[in-house]
Structure 1
Amino acid sequence: MIERFSATAAFPIDAVRAQFPALRYDRVYFDAPGGTQVCAPAIAGMVAHLERGTANTGGAFVTARETDALAARAHEAMADLLGGQPDEIAFGANMTSLTLSVSRALAQDWQAGDELVVTRLDHDANVAPWLLVARDRGMTVRWLDFDPATGRWEADDLAALVGPRTRVVALGGASNALGTLNDVAGAVAVVRVHAPDALVYVDAVQSAPHVAIDVAALGCDLLAFSPYKLFGPHLGVLWIRGALAETIDAYKVRPAGTHGAHRFETGTPSFEAQAGAIGMVDYLEWLGRELSPGVNDRRAAMVAAMDGCVAYEHELGERLLAGLRGVGATLYGPPAMAGRVPTFAFTLAGHHPDAVAEHLATRGIHAWSGHFYAVEVIRRLGLEEAGGLVRVGLCHYATAGEVDRLIAALGELVPSPLGRGREPSKTAEG
């Protein structure tokens, strides 16, 4: 039996950090929800491909044949990561571009009066493409709302929103603004009962860096994510259930292939980015074997890696949440680490979110402020005129010391009992 990683075991943080060249600088990278740092194997893979000689696919010469093999390995790697098959994988520029392409292709047969469901908790990349489709086709948009007090929507609420004319339900795996980890499998189950012909499209951009994804277990029809938020290069990945892919007429040039999900790979892709995606998977496999030496295949190793990251990030996240409470920050979203990823959105009384982010930047701490393209979230919370939120996001290469550094920097903005600001930290970005 494979011994699974537990929260009480020592996470190999020093070995992990050694895999990220950008961590050599005196910076606290809490901007991870907008893009993580890139692991060394991903960087090495991109460089190696370009240095060895690149080419387009389909040629008789050596570099073209090597690129063919590279592309095949990249599709296999993404399939292993998601629990799918290589011909169910398509690469694109990013998740947003892929979603726009998919929405346009799916909507060719949709008609006025048909319906679709989007949520108020999602990044606009999984909202706007469907709103545009609804506008163009005269469809009805139904909104799955969330509770502002908890940052959650309820899967059971979908039952009243879907029916025989529902064509697609677009859901997020996790909120890029509030960190909520959504019950996608539960939502899919509701859709299957009340709208069995509807498709479920999942934005896994924020869940993929923090939890293992199994498309079969989720039960969805399509899923997309971005490797650059999972320690890899700027790239988008789309998974389409095999049988479904063969029914979709993708917008593409005539000579382009029509096999499986590959029909959405329009034009010449970034083969160096695909090489980087392979390196990203190599890194996750390495981490999984470090945490669970008994794993015997790549998929199992990556699941072990994500399980270990969940446990480590849970502990760091609880430390951060306690610190936010200590400085009097107002947290939005789930109050504890249960049911969330380590993305935290908050406000600090008396300080505009932009001013807080700018203050943190002077202390070498990278954080975001504003709406993060989650425009419906900010609107629902009533924070548009207030400038939105401050957002910090951890991932498994963060440390407890960095969390403490963040809280100390926020504490400088909080009045002391005597009414004076705390002494500023002398630590700045190197």
Structure 2
Amino acid sequence: MAIDLTALRAHFPSLDTGLAFFDGPGGTQTPRPVADAIAATLTGPLSNRGAVSPSERNAAHAVEDFRDACADLLNMPAEGVVHGRSATQLTYDFSRHLAKDWRAGDEIVLSRLDHDSNVRPWIQAAERAGVTVRWIEIDAGTTELDLDSYERALSPRTRLVAVTAASNVLGTKPPVRRIADRAHELGALVYVDGVHYTAHHLVDVPALGADLFVCSPYKFLGPHCGVLAGAPELLETLRPDKLLPSPDNVPERFEFGTLPYEILAGVTAAVDFLAAMDPGAGSTRRERLAHSLGSLHRHEQALRARLEGGLAALGDAVTVHSKAADRTPTLLMAFEGRDAREAQVHLASRNVVAPAGSFYAHEPFTALKLEDPALRLGLAPYTTADDVDRVLEGLAAFL
């Protein structure tokens, strides 16, 4: 079976504009069922959570449904699902929570492949705690992580390893389980940035070996927010600064202020939408997600091959920096003697949305000496072969 693209695309009002979107790594378009869920929750009746009035119960159900949906998406207990305003905010929060137990002389290991949201919060927390930062480097020839440098970075003093499950600019997917297993041998925690990965693969947090895993629903058809998942027993050991009267049970002790119930409902709707793209015969939402996201992966891989073949045909005028053997359908490229922003403007004149920049990937751009800006093309569930042909024709005309 396969995803019915015509039926799927009919759910996206933004596609009626005729635009072809290649900016999915920065945020996908939103299907109508997600917007409807947000509007229906927001217009209520809605109050703060409780069990007395219908409006209170609506809020409580929005929270429960959100945790259950994310639990199915990530293969984690609902009690381990934490809402945040963004993945960046959650990582800053948890860098402070974890750093409370760090001591001078401890070490953490970061990756040169990562978005800055999984780098700068840890560096700043380490500076405050007197903790040493060590690095996993990138192999410039393959754009994959250099695991020999990882071995050199580890020590009995390592407290945390932070790594991405997929690069938001290069698409590179490191061997997270192998990285996690080595960290756990030394008693270190593993924090995984799954923001880009979750948009393209069925996530299994325990199988990845992640102790804490963060993602962003707006990268997979949902509203703007962040989600963190961790084992409830691990979350029980962390003591954030919090208001005295606020709940202290896990996961609510990590959620500050009144939750945005309408946004939570939108996340639930997005997970349900993903599960319905090509649901197969699954009796549970997790099974339907597995089937749908498997079909999505095959769809995106076929389009990626079409895109890469077309770019290769453009010759030496295009340099594609995404080289890893295992990667998402995301390509970063530069143009000989041309500014990538000119390419962005040219494509926009043809109703093709493809951004140029460095996309908060400070470490990869610095380590690989990439030209800033570079053009990024990312595929999404609603991308078609015609979209790919349009962007290739646009780039050929630009060159």
TM-score per shorter chain, which class? Answer: over 0.9
CA contact (8 A) 1:88 1:262 kept: no
Distance 1:288 1:126 in 2: 32
Residue of structure 1 equivalent to 2:344:
357
Distance 1:159 1:142 in 2: 11
Residue of structure 2 equivalent to 1:422:
none
One-letter identity of the residue aligned with 1:186: R
One-letter identity of the residue aligned with 2:174: N
Residue of structure 1 equivalent to 2:393:
408
One-letter identity of the residue aligned with 1:99: T
- Say which of 370, 374, 377 aligns to 2:361: 374
Residue of structure 2 equivalent to 1:325:
312
One-letter identity of the residue aligned with 1:303: A
C-alpha deviation, 1:52, in angstroms: 2.3
**Which deviates more from structure 2 when the two are superposed, residues 148-157 or residues 203-212?**
148-157
CA contact (8 A) 1:347 1:353 kept: yes
Using the size of structure 1 for normalisation, the TM-score is: 0.90
**Which deviates more from structure 2 when the two are superposed, residues 231-240 or residues 159-168?**
159-168
CA contact (8 A) 2:45 2:58 kept: no
Residue of structure 1 equivalent to 2:55:
63
- Say which of 233, 244, 269 aligns to 1:279: 269
Residue of structure 2 equivalent to 1:19:
11
Distance 1:214 1:21, change over 3 A: same
Residue of structure 2 equivalent to 1:427:
none
- Say which of 260, 263, 270 aligns to 2:253: 263
Distance 2:252 2:211 in 1: 16
1:235 aligns with 2:222: no
1:296 aligns with 2:278: no
C-alpha deviation, 1:287, in angstroms: 1.6
C-alpha deviation, 1:59, in angstroms: 6.0
Distance 1:109 1:187 in 2: 22
Residue of structure 1 equivalent to 2:296:
309
One-letter identity of the residue aligned with 1:205: V
CA contact (8 A) 1:126 1:170 kept: yes
C-alpha deviation, 1:261, in angstroms: 2.5
Partner of 1:104: helix, strand, or coil? helix
Distance 1:226 1:251 in 2: 24
Distance 1:236 1:69 in 2: 19
Which consecutive unaligned segments of at least 5 residues does structure 1 have? 415-430
Correspondences of 1:121-270 after superposition (within 5 Å): 121-155=113-147, 157-193=149-185, 195=186, 197-270=187-260
Distance 1:64 1:261 in 2: 20
Q: CA RMSD, aligned part only? A: 1.3
Distance 1:68 1:216 in 2: 28
Aligned residues: 397
Distance 2:136 2:202 in 1: 25
- Say which of 36, 43, 65 aligns to 1:51: 43
Once the two structures are superposed, residues 17-44 of structure 1 have per-residue CA deviations (whole angstroms, 9 ceiling, x without a partner) of: 1122211111011010000011222111
C-alpha deviation, 1:83, in angstroms: 0.3
Residue of structure 1 equivalent to 2:109:
117
C-alpha deviation, 1:387, in angstroms: 2.4
C-alpha deviation, 1:259, in angstroms: 1.8
One-letter identity of the residue aligned with 1:77: A
1:86 aligns with 2:75: no
Once the two structures are superposed, residues 196-232 of structure 1 have per-residue CA deviations (whole angstroms, 9 ceiling, x without a partner) of: x210000000000100000111111000000000100
C-alpha deviation, 1:54, in angstroms: 2.0
Identity, in percent, stands at 38
Partner of 2:383: helix, strand, or coil? coil
Distance 2:101 2:181 in 1: 25
Distance 1:80 1:155 in 2: 31
CA contact (8 A) 2:83 2:225 kept: yes
Distance 2:368 2:352 in 1: 26
C-alpha deviation, 1:156, in angstroms: 5.4
C-alpha deviation, 1:256, in angstroms: 1.8
Residue of structure 1 equivalent to 2:374:
389
Once the two structures are superposed, residues 289-343 of structure 1 have per-residue CA deviations (whole angstroms, 9 ceiling, x without a partner) of: 2xx2x211100101111111000000000000111111131011226xx511111
Which consecutive unaligned segments of at least 5 residues does structure 2 have? none
Residue of structure 2 equivalent to 1:31:
23
CA contact (8 A) 2:74 2:205 kept: yes
Once the two structures are superposed, residues 60-106 of structure 1 have per-residue CA deviations (whole angstroms, 9 ceiling, x without a partner) of: 32211211111111111111110011110010101000110000011
C-alpha deviation, 1:239, in angstroms: 0.5
Partner of 2:283: helix, strand, or coil? coil
CA contact (8 A) 1:19 1:39 kept: yes
Runs of 4+ in 1 over 3 A off after TM superposition: 154-157
C-alpha deviation, 1:353, in angstroms: 1.4
